A and B are shown apart, each in its own frame.
Chain A
């Protein structure tokens, strides 16, 4: 990616992020968002994060390209998250499993 495209990409990403953070503080007078919009926004996080996880974990070649060690690492990361709710442990459990299973297979 060349420097100009990278700069434009950064500015566009910065602008949409700032817009999301500032728009309602700057525009919302004495109104609140409709309840349906508020409820829909609550589900955006889980939906997009799950979609990103799958995209990054699987890659463009599909589920067949996932190695056993990668699948085991994802499972370990998920278990660690649910169990301890600590992202540092998520990372440690996932990476350790990836190394161990990767070395064995």
Chain B
């Protein structure tokens, strides 16, 4: 088993367009650290310990108004989408050495998943190099941009209203996540219920809204799938053995 420290060139090239949108986002996380009730060192350490943009922004902005467990729940719910990535990557990781199965998931962020899920046909060594190049690359980028945002953020006056940047970014992220009708239903219900529950203590309205959105989304999913069945006769004989 060879452990190569040479980065995968194709991975570096693939990273560029995906990395660009992460830069302003990391910057905003950095600015939010400066305004948070969380100690500054903890805000910065969240980039190494949690390493997940949207949930870090939630952690940083909710520290103070929300309780300990409400924050942990919010982070867990936001990052539960990673279960999907973990499930999708499991067959590929089965061919990887044990250390990789433990270390690899640490960098399984949205961007790393999106890029490396298209490289699962590579031989195990080659896949590992691609995966780790993107993972380490994004980790280094994130841990540069976030502290930079923190430094620059302290120089920016309050009148620039950067406190509202997190709300705007989450608005954009929500619309990015809506790619199907059931997802739209989940978002609309999630947003509306959390609005009704906004007065609940410890920002529990977020969790209440999210749960309501997921439940309604599941019902709409069932209704939608029944009306729009995916008919692919060629795929049927292989359906049992498919891992896609």
Contacts and interface: CB of A to CB of B under 8 A. Distances in A.
Given A46-B178, A50-B187, A88-B24, A55 B72 contact: no
Contacts of B182: 39, 42-43
Interface stretch (B1-9, B86-94, B116-124, B147-155): B86-94
Nearest to B89: A25
B97 interface: no
Interface residues of B, number: 101
A42 B161 contact: no
A95 B161 contact: yes
Interface in A39-74: 39-60, 62-63, 70, 73-74
B132 interface: no
Interface in B55-84: 55, 58-59, 61, 63-65, 68, 71-72, 74-84
Interface of B: 20-21, 23-25, 28, 37-39, 41-42, 45-46, 49-52, 54-55, 58-59, 61, 63-65, 68, 71-72, 74-87, 89-90, 93, 101-102, 104-106, 108, 160-162, 164-178, 180, 182-184, 186-195, 198-199, 203, 205-214, 217-218, 221, 225, 243
Interchain residue pairs A-B with the least CB separation, the first 7: A47-B213, A43-B217, A51-B209, A90-B172, A47-B190, A22-B105, A94-B168
